[in-house]
Amino acid sequence: MAKIGFIGLGIMGRPMAGHLIAAGHDVFLHSRSGVPGALLAAGGRDAGSAAGTARAGDVVFTMVPDTPDVERVLFGEDGVAAGLSAGKVVVDMSSISPVATRDFATRINALGCQYLDAPVSGGEVGAKNAALTIMVGGEQATFDQVLPLFSTMGRNITRVGGNGDGQITKVANQIIVALTIEAVGEALVLAAKAGADPSRVREALMGGFANSRILEVHGERMIKRSFDPGFRIELHQKDLNLALVTARELGVSLPNTATAQELFNACGAHGGHGWDHSAMVRALETLANHPIAD
């Protein structure tokens, strides 16, 4: 069994670390808010600091909210870099800047260690069910080494290319998800305002070429007004900001991504930062002056 460090024990990180513990690995844990008692009771150990996880683990996972958080965890005072020794592997499973990721990888490589960026898709449900999609950037040999650990947390695990390519893939994923939510929302708002039953419209569309998981899951949320977060709007805003900043650096235009971000911003202006991202439909309903359902 492997010796593993795991940093970041929030909505996603907590069940991910739990799967590694359940698989019999020796897991050393750290979180700014403290290590949950349930993980300690399951056999995890409190490493005391980010550096402590790196000293104890041969592979160190990070799962924190944003680019500055990863930089702080890796290179801040008593951070991962301070506890690393040659031959160890750092795996960042956060969703952050592809450009910063390449810099972080270079700095970790300079310490004689390997680096993988491995952002995930699947949300809290996927994390709890060990069913995440994991998009990996880094060396093939390092990916092969860590693959058995990834397999305890996810099902669709793909090495896309070198460092940063995992993060680019996650950004692309979030663009597709946001734009599909927007399309489903527009379609159901139009149907409702025209007098059709949106639940029947959704049912009909699910039998055709327009079907998607977002129509299935988030379309139902829109109709049932079930906006408790599986994935919060504020987190999707962060991911779309990464897309737009990266696009600007590369000289690429993402007009519909920008529109989706503005719709999320409108939700935020109405207190919706913590709503599920399917609640983008509320901004569309406001523009149409017509809700899908009461």
Q: Are strands 59-62 and 114-117 parallel, antiparallel or unpaired?
A: unpaired
Radius of gyration of the chain (CA): 20
CA distances from 272 to 64, 174, 177, 268, 285 (A): 22, 19, 18, 4, 14
Distance from chain centroid for Cα 171: 10
Rounded distance between C-alpha atoms, residue 165 and residue 149, angstroms: 20
- Residues whose CB is less than 8 angstroms from the CB of residue 294 and which lie 6 or more positions away in sequence, other chains included: none
- Transcribe 124-163 into DSSP letters: HHHHHTT-EEEEEES-HHHHHHHHHHHTTTEEEEEEEEST
Rounded distance between C-alpha atoms, residue 267 and residue 233, angstroms: 8
Which one is catalytic: 170, 193, 224, 238? 170
Burial of 279 (0-12, 13-18, 19+ CB in 10 A): buried
Amino acid identity, position 206? M
| Listed residue (37, 65, 31) closest to 49, CA to CA | 31
Rounded distance between C-alpha atoms, residue 115 and residue 128, angstroms: 25
For the question of residue 224 being annotated catalytic, the response is no
As annotated, the active-site residues are 170
